[in-house]
Protein backbone atom coordinates (compact mmCIF):
# COMPACT_ATOMS: atom_id res chain seq x y z
CA UNK A 1 0.00 0.00 0.00
CA UNK A 2 2.87 2.38 0.85
CA UNK A 3 4.48 1.66 -2.50
CA UNK A 4 1.21 2.45 -4.29
CA UNK A 5 0.87 5.81 -2.49
CA UNK A 6 4.52 6.61 -3.22
CA UNK A 7 4.08 5.82 -6.91
CA UNK A 8 0.92 7.96 -7.08
CA UNK A 9 2.69 10.90 -5.42
CA UNK A 10 5.64 10.50 -7.76
CA UNK A 11 3.32 10.41 -10.80
CA UNK A 12 1.39 13.51 -9.71
CA UNK A 13 4.55 15.49 -8.95
CA UNK A 14 6.15 14.52 -12.27
CA UNK A 15 2.97 15.54 -14.09
CA UNK A 16 2.94 18.93 -12.37
CA UNK A 17 6.63 19.50 -13.12
CA UNK A 18 6.17 18.57 -16.79
CA UNK A 19 3.23 20.99 -17.09
CA UNK A 20 5.32 23.75 -15.52
CA UNK A 21 8.20 23.04 -17.90
CA UNK A 22 5.74 23.04 -20.85
CA UNK A 23 4.52 26.51 -19.85
CA UNK A 24 8.11 27.72 -19.55
CA UNK A 25 8.86 26.25 -22.99
CA UNK A 26 5.87 28.08 -24.48
CA UNK A 27 6.99 31.32 -22.84
CA UNK A 28 10.53 30.68 -24.12
CA UNK A 29 9.32 30.28 -27.70
CA UNK A 30 7.13 33.40 -27.40
CA UNK A 31 10.16 35.33 -26.15
CA UNK A 32 12.09 34.14 -29.22
CA UNK A 33 9.28 35.24 -31.55
CA UNK A 34 9.23 38.71 -30.00
CA UNK A 35 13.05 38.86 -30.10
CA UNK A 36 13.23 39.23 -26.31
CA UNK A 37 16.48 37.28 -26.04
CA UNK A 38 17.25 38.26 -22.43
CA UNK A 39 13.95 36.78 -21.27
CA UNK A 40 14.54 33.69 -23.40
CA UNK A 41 17.99 33.17 -21.82
CA UNK A 42 16.51 33.56 -18.32
CA UNK A 43 13.77 31.05 -19.09
CA UNK A 44 16.35 28.64 -20.51
CA UNK A 45 18.39 28.91 -17.31
CA UNK A 46 15.23 28.29 -15.29
CA UNK A 47 14.43 25.21 -17.36
CA UNK A 48 17.94 23.89 -16.78
CA UNK A 49 17.44 24.22 -13.03
CA UNK A 50 14.18 22.25 -13.32
CA UNK A 51 16.09 19.17 -14.52
CA UNK A 52 15.10 19.47 -18.16
CA UNK A 53 16.39 16.65 -20.32
CA UNK A 54 19.79 17.51 -21.77
CA UNK A 55 18.68 16.87 -25.37
CA UNK A 56 15.68 19.18 -25.04
CA UNK A 57 17.79 21.83 -23.31
CA UNK A 58 20.39 21.73 -26.09
CA UNK A 59 17.66 21.95 -28.74
CA UNK A 60 16.14 25.03 -27.10
CA UNK A 61 19.58 26.59 -26.62
CA UNK A 62 20.32 26.00 -30.31
CA UNK A 63 17.02 27.64 -31.26
CA UNK A 64 18.06 30.65 -29.15
CA UNK A 65 21.43 30.84 -30.92
CA UNK A 66 19.78 30.67 -34.34
CA UNK A 67 17.21 33.37 -33.58
CA UNK A 68 19.73 35.67 -31.91
CA UNK A 69 22.25 35.15 -34.72
CA UNK A 70 19.62 35.81 -37.38
CA UNK A 71 18.47 38.98 -35.62
CA UNK A 72 22.05 40.26 -35.60
CA UNK A 73 22.52 39.16 -39.21
CA UNK A 74 19.42 41.09 -40.33
CA UNK A 75 20.86 44.20 -38.62
CA UNK A 76 24.11 43.78 -40.59
CA UNK A 77 25.99 42.73 -37.44
CA UNK A 78 27.77 39.89 -39.23
CA UNK A 79 30.77 39.57 -36.90
CA UNK A 80 28.51 39.42 -33.84
CA UNK A 81 26.16 36.92 -35.51
CA UNK A 82 28.88 34.47 -36.52
CA UNK A 83 29.53 32.89 -33.06
CA UNK A 84 25.84 32.07 -32.68
CA UNK A 85 25.71 30.38 -36.08
CA UNK A 86 29.00 28.60 -35.37
CA UNK A 87 27.61 27.14 -32.11
CA UNK A 88 24.35 26.18 -33.82
CA UNK A 89 26.26 24.58 -36.71
CA UNK A 90 28.33 22.48 -34.32
CA UNK A 91 25.15 21.06 -32.80
CA UNK A 92 22.86 20.95 -35.82
CA UNK A 93 24.86 20.46 -39.02
CA UNK A 94 21.90 18.93 -40.84
CA UNK A 95 19.79 22.09 -40.66
CA UNK A 96 20.00 23.67 -44.13
CA UNK A 97 19.44 27.22 -42.90
CA UNK A 98 22.12 26.98 -40.21
CA UNK A 99 24.57 25.31 -42.59
CA UNK A 100 24.02 27.93 -45.33
CA UNK A 101 24.29 30.86 -42.95
CA UNK A 102 27.41 29.40 -41.28
CA UNK A 103 29.12 28.73 -44.62
CA UNK A 104 28.24 32.22 -45.87
CA UNK A 105 29.65 33.94 -42.79
CA UNK A 106 32.65 31.61 -42.52
CA UNK A 107 33.72 32.32 -46.10
CA UNK A 108 34.17 36.10 -45.81
CA UNK A 109 35.83 38.71 -43.66
CA UNK A 110 33.29 39.74 -41.09
CA UNK A 111 32.57 43.14 -39.68
CA UNK A 112 29.65 44.76 -37.94
CA UNK A 113 28.17 47.64 -39.86
CA UNK A 114 27.28 50.63 -37.74
CA UNK A 115 24.24 52.85 -37.95
CA UNK A 116 26.10 55.56 -39.98
CA UNK A 117 26.01 53.30 -43.03
CA UNK A 118 22.29 52.80 -42.50
CA UNK A 119 21.84 56.58 -42.28
CA UNK A 120 23.69 57.04 -45.61
CA UNK A 121 21.46 54.43 -47.21
CA UNK A 122 18.35 56.13 -45.89
CA UNK A 123 19.56 59.50 -47.26
CA UNK A 124 20.12 57.93 -50.67
CA UNK A 125 16.67 56.36 -50.55
CA UNK A 126 15.05 59.64 -49.51
CA UNK A 127 16.77 61.42 -52.41
CA UNK A 128 15.21 58.86 -54.73
CA UNK A 129 11.85 59.51 -53.12
CA UNK A 130 12.19 63.25 -53.67
CA UNK A 131 12.43 62.76 -57.44
CA UNK A 132 9.31 60.64 -57.36
CA UNK A 133 7.36 63.21 -55.33
CA UNK A 134 6.34 65.18 -58.43
CA UNK A 135 4.97 62.03 -60.05
CA UNK A 136 3.15 61.08 -56.88
CA UNK A 137 1.64 64.57 -56.52
CA UNK A 138 0.43 64.43 -60.13
CA UNK A 139 -1.16 61.02 -59.55
CA UNK A 140 -2.79 62.24 -56.35
CA UNK A 141 -4.27 65.23 -58.18
CA UNK A 142 -5.73 62.93 -60.83
CA UNK A 143 -7.13 60.64 -58.13
CA UNK A 144 -8.59 63.68 -56.35
CA UNK A 145 -10.42 64.82 -59.50
CA UNK A 146 -11.77 61.27 -60.01
CA UNK A 147 -12.93 61.24 -56.40
CA UNK A 148 -14.73 64.55 -56.87
CA UNK A 149 -16.47 63.17 -59.98
CA UNK A 150 -17.54 60.08 -58.04
CA UNK A 151 -18.83 62.20 -55.18
CA UNK A 152 -20.93 64.37 -57.49
CA UNK A 153 -22.26 61.23 -59.22
CA UNK A 154 -23.23 59.71 -55.88
CA UNK A 155 -24.94 62.96 -54.86
CA UNK A 156 -26.99 63.03 -58.09
CA UNK A 157 -28.01 59.38 -57.59
CA UNK A 158 -29.00 60.26 -54.03
CA UNK A 159 -31.22 63.11 -55.29
CA UNK A 160 -32.87 60.84 -57.88
CA UNK A 161 -33.56 58.23 -55.21
CA UNK A 162 -35.26 60.84 -53.02
CA UNK A 163 -37.44 61.94 -55.94
CA UNK A 164 -38.42 58.33 -56.69
CA UNK A 165 -39.26 57.73 -53.04
CA UNK A 166 -41.46 60.84 -53.01
CA UNK A 167 -43.21 59.77 -56.22
CA UNK A 168 -43.71 56.28 -54.79
CA UNK A 169 -45.20 57.68 -51.61
CA UNK A 170 -47.62 59.80 -53.71
CA UNK A 171 -48.51 56.78 -55.82
CA UNK A 172 -49.02 54.71 -52.67
CA UNK A 173 -51.27 57.42 -51.23
CA UNK A 174 -53.34 57.41 -54.45
CA UNK A 175 -53.53 53.62 -54.36
CA UNK A 176 -54.67 53.63 -50.72
CA UNK A 177 -57.29 56.25 -51.56
CA UNK A 178 -58.56 54.23 -54.51
CA UNK A 179 -58.75 51.05 -52.42
CA UNK A 180 -60.59 52.94 -49.68
CA UNK A 181 -63.13 54.34 -52.16
CA UNK A 182 -63.61 50.92 -53.70
CA UNK A 183 -64.13 49.39 -50.24
CA UNK A 184 -66.71 52.08 -49.38
CA UNK A 185 -68.58 51.50 -52.64
CA UNK A 186 -68.58 47.75 -51.99
CA UNK A 187 -69.80 48.29 -48.42
CA UNK A 188 -72.59 50.57 -49.61
CA UNK A 189 -73.58 48.06 -52.28
CA UNK A 190 -73.67 45.23 -49.69
CA UNK A 191 -75.72 47.31 -47.25
CA UNK A 192 -78.30 48.24 -49.92
CA UNK A 193 -78.60 44.66 -51.02
CA UNK A 194 -79.63 43.47 -47.61
8 A C-beta contact, residue 92 and residue 62: yes
Are the CB atoms for 117 and 76 separated by under 8 Å? yes
Spell out the CATH class of 2-113. Answer: mainly alpha
Burial of 36 (0-12, 13-18, 19+ CB in 10 A): middle
Question: What are the two backbone dihedrals, phi and then psi, of residue 112, each rounded to the nearest 5 degrees?
Answer: -90, 125
| Domain assignments of the chain as residue spans, ordered by start | 2-113
The pLDDT tens digits along the chain (194 residues) read 555 454 544 444 444 344 445 788 888 889 989 999 999 999 888 888 877 788 888 899 999 999 999 999 999 999 999 999 999 999 988 999 999 999 999 898 888 887 554 555 555 454 455 556 667 776 777 777 777 776 767 777 767 777 777 777 777 777 778 888 888 888 888 888 77
Q: What is the pTM of this model?
A: 0.50
**CB of 78 within 8 A of CB of 101?**
no
Amino acid sequence: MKNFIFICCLFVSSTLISQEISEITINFRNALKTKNFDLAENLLTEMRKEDLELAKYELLETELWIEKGESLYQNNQFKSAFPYFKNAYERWRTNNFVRDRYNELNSKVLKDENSNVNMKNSKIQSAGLATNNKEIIGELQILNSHLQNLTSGINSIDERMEKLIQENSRNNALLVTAISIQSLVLLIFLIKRK
